[in-house]
Chains A and B, each alone.
Chain A
Amino acid sequence: EVQLVESGGGLVQPGGSLRLSCAASGFTFSSSEMNWVRQAPGKGLEWISYISGSDNTIYYADSVKGRFTISRDNAKNSLFLQMNSLRAEDTAVYYCARGVVTLDYWGRGTLVTVSS
């Protein structure tokens, strides 16, 4: 069974940093493209980053480019999102999701709250 479990969310002050993790199981993680998608409270879905299985191709949404860094550890079946210079508008539930043409499996999400 495919499972994606996010962790690392919490309350952080504006300008602070946080590192999210996504533990994957039930599929060949090293050959799977992965994404981070977020959802602000009461709002819609926003794709924010993609990483290829080999780690050679990475994309970001303009809203996070230069502040967030996606990475992966294929030996540990883990996906990461390093978030720096956090802003109030980054407050959201962050989901990891598998896929490139379509996002076929999603984790349950981890809540990040940016507030003083």
Chain B
Amino acid sequence: DIQMTQSPSSLSASVGDRVTITCRASQTISSYLSWYQQKPGKAPKLLIYGASSLQSGVPSRFSGSESGTDFTLTINSLQPEDFATYYCQQSYSIPYTFGQGTKLEIK
């Protein structure tokens, strides 16, 4: 199975900050990487697919990038509604696997 190692596991930031979350795959996954946002008691919401493509309706302050097996989610100018847990997920091979999540909290 492909392991997805996400870091950090938690992060404190302020409104207006720029934050970066990283996900490392244990082997090549090409660009088969998605990012999701989950708020308490809610279903995950797709933010980024194909490592860097913004899902329709998602604000442009969210962006994704890749470098080899390292993937990054960047949120520019944090807004109050961005405080949530973020997950990466590979769909290169079965079983699809998720990172362990990054909880973004208000400082």
Contact = CB atoms under 8 A, between A and B. Distances in A.
Contacts of B91: 100-102
A83 to B, nearest CB: 17
A110 B96 CA distance: 21
- Chain A: number of interface residues, binned into ranges: 20 to 34
A113 B101 CA distance: 23
Interface in B10-46: 32, 34, 36, 38, 42-46
A50 interface: yes
Contacts of A102: 34, 46, 49-50, 89, 91
A109 B98 contact: no
Contacts of B45: 106
Contacts of A97: 44
Interface of B: 32, 34, 36, 38, 42-46, 49-50, 55, 87, 89, 91, 94-101
Interface of A: 35, 37, 44-47, 50, 59, 61-62, 95, 97, 100-109
